[in-house]
Each structure stands twice: as structure tokens, then as C-alpha cells.
Amino acid sequence: MAGSHKSNLILRIEQKKARVGIIGLGYVGLPLMLRCCEMGYPVIGFDLDQNKIKKLCQGKSYIEYIPSEVIQANLSKFEATFDFSRAAEADVLILCVPTPLNKYREPDLSFIVKTMESVLPYLRAGQMVCLESTTYPGTTDEELAPRIQSRGLIIGQEVFLLFSPERIDPGNLQFSAHNIPKVCGGFTPNCLEVGVKFYSHIIDKVVPVSSTRVAELTKILENIHRAVNIGLVNEMKIVADKMGIDIHEAIAAAATKPFGFIPYQPGPGLGGHCIPIDPFYLTWKAREYGVHTRFIELAGEINAAMPNYVVSKIIFALNSKHKAVKQSRILILGIAYKKNIDDSRESPSIVIMEKLHQLGAQLSYSDPHIPVFPKIHDTIFDLSSTSLNAEALKQYDCVVLATDHDLFDYQLIKKSAQLIVDCRGRYSEAHDSIIKA
């Protein structure tokens, strides 16, 4: 009987009769849902945000780089709901929920735990359950497995539990849900077999690993690699600035070496839902094993301090024009955490704005991807994006290039702004009105 659950589920997957349930329809879950639809699987999308559900049912997208036309093309292939009882209808359940840090900078697994407990009454034999949310090694084994077992279900025989980390890069047109290799780890070999079979039908390449813990560590290692290297170039930027050297020129020259060097670009700090947060999941878990993760924490300190560095450069720039920060009109260019997307989570631009506000600056922002300042931020800003033209730019005492969207007219900005603080290295030439930060 145990073998029949696995073989029946694999058969349904192969015949594309398996119904896929995706929980959490954000930057990870929505692209995955659409990919499953495109590959011929019926899908139920779950989210607690009723506004998202309403928009999806109307064929509207709420993520900028996913056109509404793509939603409309797949309307007949998915259902969107906030009714978690319908999890019983799904043969494959994929959890794509947030994993933030709490106020003590410790892992907050409440979204994972609450989601699992919401679907727990509706779990049944013959289902695959996969967590895609980035988390510390052991989460799947320690948090999900016991809850499934509490239902009397045998993992590996009746229910097939996996961890397969999301690797989405929002706004990246070269890599999307289907062509980023999919790491997959199972709670048991049977779980892995089912997971590989499913993901191989929707992802171009599947990379099986020996356990859920290896898969969990893989994703955190990827993000730590970026966080540490970005921390390194951010520190090098400060050193280079003191020496009067353009760090961007040095990085470009170093990148000509065909081996042994990977170019990372400095900036005003780290943002997004992954790199500023995920490394601290491992830092927290490592303490359980008596390990102090010094590289991770040092990189975190450097990256978290970058907004202060930018503010100090803004103060210096204004002083060079015999102006104080207080009452100065400052325009922030870009509040998304990286260029060409509409996501401002953990954005260093917001931190810079908060610090400048505390110093008495009069703030505006311009971001072609974020027309209204997002309400998700616990700030006092009630702003809309400013349109850029020569006359408007001339009105500001300082323009801060925080996020270098391709839609900005950099020649117009250079020609019209009184003073520019460039955090992204877009202006390589020396100029009296341009300060590198």
C-alpha cells in the first residue's frame, strides 16, 4: 500500500493530472504558479492577501515584471483562493511564504509554522509537501516533519516531504522560474524521488542532494557568498575613496582576469528579502553548535553601516556648497532595493531617507517603478514619485543616486542637477558637482 501512494502520485505527475497547490503568491510563488500552468498542471494558488486573490481572478498582475497578459493567458488553468481547506484537493503542496527576522534579528518562522498548521487538518496520504522558503538547516526536519507525523501520516510512504529552495531573481530577464537549476532534498529517498519527478516536469534542470538539510544550507550558502563579497567591496570602496581611487574602475580592471576573481559592485547597502536577512538564519542556528560565524556577522555590520557612510557623503557634498543638511531639498533617485524592479523591501534607500529626515532635510524621491511610497514601511513618508525634468531637478540642493534604474535619464540628471551624490558609480568622469559615495 505504501508503494502505491508513491507510484500513484508519480503517475499523476507524469500524466499532468496532479493538482498543484502553491501557498504564498508573491515574488516566488506567482512565477512558480504560472510556470506550472504553462506546463499543463492544474493549480490552486493560496494567499491570505485578499487583494492579491481579487486581482488574480480579474487577470491583473501586482508584480511589475509579470505582465497582466501572462495572468490572463493562464486564467483558465488556475484558481486563486484564501480558503486553506482546499489544500486537500492538491496532490503537490508548495510553501512559498516569507521568512523574515524578528526585532532581535532572530529567525521568524511564524509564517512557515502558521501555514503548515493551517493546511495540517487537510493533509492526506498521496501528497507531496515541499518548502521553498529560505531558512536554516533543520527547519524541514524539525518543524514540518513532526507536524505531519502528528497526523499519523508516514513520511516517505504516505506523504512525501521535501525542501527545494527558491532561487528567483526578480527582474532578471535572462533567468526565470524554468531555467534556474532546482536544488531538491528529500526527507527520505522516496520523498526525493517524487520531488525530482515533479520538478523535472517544470524546471529545465533538477539538482538532487542527499537531504533537506543540504538543500537548506545550499540556499543560505549562496546568499552568504553574495553578502560577504558585497561587504568586501563596500569596505574596499571606503578605502579607495580615502585614497582618491575610483573603486568601480579598479573592479572593472580586476574583472579582466579570466580566473580567480568575480566582480561584485558596491552600493549604499543591502536590500531585498534574501541577502540582508538569510545569512543571519545560519548565524542563529550555528550558535546551537557552539560556532561563532565571524565572516557573516562582519559582512552584515559593514553592509548595515553603508547608509551611514552615504549620509556622511551627502553632508560632505552639501558642506562643499556651503549648505547644511537641515532644510536642504534632497531628491532620492530610486527606492527599490535594486535596479529595474518595484520591490523596496529592506531597501537601503529607505534607511538613508529616514536618517536624512532626522537631520531635518526636506525629502522627495523619484522611482519609475514605485509611483507611491509603499505603506509596508513603518515610516512617516507620505510621498509620490517625482517626475524628472530639467526644471524639477534644478530645484534640489542635492540629488542622491541610490538605485540606478535603467529608466533614469542620466545625461539629463547630470546636466540639470546642482549636486549629485552617486552611490552606484554611474558617473565615472570627474566633475565638481558629482560626489562618489
Displacement of CA 417 from its chain's centroid (Å): 32
* Alpha-carbon span 13 to 8, nearest angstrom: 9
| Cα R_g (the chain), whole angstroms | 24
Are 376 and 345 within 8 A, CB to CB? yes
* Alpha-carbon span 252 to 286, nearest angstrom: 36
From first CA to last CA, the distance across the chain in angstroms is 65
* Alpha-carbon span 17 to 90, nearest angstrom: 10
Are 74 and 34 within 8 A, CB to CB? yes
Q: Which of 44, 53, 50 is nearest to 19 (CA)?
A: 44
Nearest 5°: phi and psi at 366? Answer: -135, 125
Q: 276: which DSSP letter?
A: T
Nearest 5°: phi and psi at 213? Answer: -65, -40
Catalytically annotated residue among 96, 130, 184, 274: 274
Give the number of other Cβ atoms within 10 Å of residue 356's Cβ. Answer: 24
Displacement of CA 150 from its chain's centroid (Å): 32
Q: Look up residue 272 and give its three cell numbers.
A: 531585498
Q: 107: which DSSP letter?
A: B
Q: Which of 149, 190, 279 is nearest to 4 (CA)?
A: 190
* Alpha-carbon span 188 to 210, nearest angstrom: 9
Are 142 and 174 within 8 A, CB to CB? no
* Alpha-carbon span 296 to 282, nearest angstrom: 9
Respond yes or no: is residue 274 known to be catalytic.
yes
* Alpha-carbon span 132 to 96, nearest angstrom: 5
Instruction: Name the residues annotated as catalytic.
Output: 274
